[in-house]
Amino acid sequence: MAPALLLIPAALASFILAFGTGVEFVRFTSLRPLLGGIPESGGPGEREGSRMNWEEEDARQGWLAALQDRSILAPLAWDLGLLLLFVGQHSLMAAERVKAWTSRYFGVLQRSLYVACTALALQLVMRYWEPIPKGPVLWEARAEPWATWVPLLCFVLHVISWLLIFSILLVFDYAELMGLKQVYYHVLGLGEPLALKSPRALRLFSHLRHPVCVELLTVLWVVPTLGTDRLLLAFLLTLYLGLAHGLDQQDLRYLRAQLQRKLHLLSRPQDGEAE
């Protein structure tokens, strides 16, 4: 029993790392672009001048010129490399051969290892991300009343999206998603949690790797200013999320039935309240 209990701290450490990374991801994708926390090089006059230079050019010429500017291409290539590192890790470790190999050597900690590596890869993206303040923007809310109302609308939509994301993760068995349930079942000798799920549930999980796709897309794209680096982040992650999904009507019917069942259980009055 002692070796089995040693698995618990490892799973908890992976969970804490993933939770902290999730909080940091909220700040990275929502708070910085909405509250203006992205650091910019140069003083206000330099930033305003560079922004005016882009506005003076035709939009198409501005983007073509950006692709020839080394001060823009260098951080853009760096950010692209960071995203490819994250996507590569996330996809490679989800491959069946890699999962079989990690399960052979790490056993029940396979899911916790995957979660920890994903969190570390995402930390690298967020900590070493290079903003491109001098690059062209696809859109920007600067004139009133848009400069006031667009950021407010984006903030409301981001709050709603993150609340939906947290709710969906709870419905999708957050403990199992983070690898905690696997260790808990192993310590108690209950076997593998996935072995207790129905074939329809296993089929859904194989098709739906990211159950919060729409909400994440809202967070990525709905921003007051869509600059060059944000466009790269939103486009590449949107492409990755789209390729990672393969839902059909059978999956959607099962998902709707399970959601209705769990909502019914949550809304059912407690025994003490029924009196």
Model pLDDT, residue 8 = 84
Model pLDDT, residue 165 = 85
Model pLDDT, residue 43 = 39
**What span, in angstroms and rounded, lies between the C-alpha atoms of 159 and 81?**
29
Model pLDDT, residue 2 = 41
**What span, in angstroms and rounded, lies between the C-alpha atoms of 198 and 182?**
17
Model pLDDT, residue 259 = 59
Model pLDDT, residue 29 = 93
In this structure, are residues 89 and 81 in contact, taking their beta carbons and an 8 Å threshold? no
The encoded tokens of residue 11 equal 């799973």
| Amino acid identity at 164 | L
**What span, in angstroms and rounded, lies between the C-alpha atoms of 177 and 249?**
24
Tell me the CB-side half-sphere exposure of residue 38, using CA atoms within 13 A: 21
Tens digit of each residue's pLDDT, the chain (275 residues): 446 667 888 889 999 999 999 999 999 999 888 776 443 433 344 444 444 444 444 555 567 777 778 888 999 999 999 999 999 998 899 888 998 999 898 888 988 999 999 999 999 999 999 998 888 888 888 888 888 899 999 999 999 999 988 877 776 677 777 877 788 777 777 666 655 555 555 455 554 555 567 788 999 999 999 989 999 999 999 988 877 655 445 545 555 665 566 666 666 665 544 44
Output the pTM of the full model: 0.74
Model pLDDT, residue 133 = 83
**What span, in angstroms and rounded, lies between the C-alpha atoms of 6 and 12?**
11
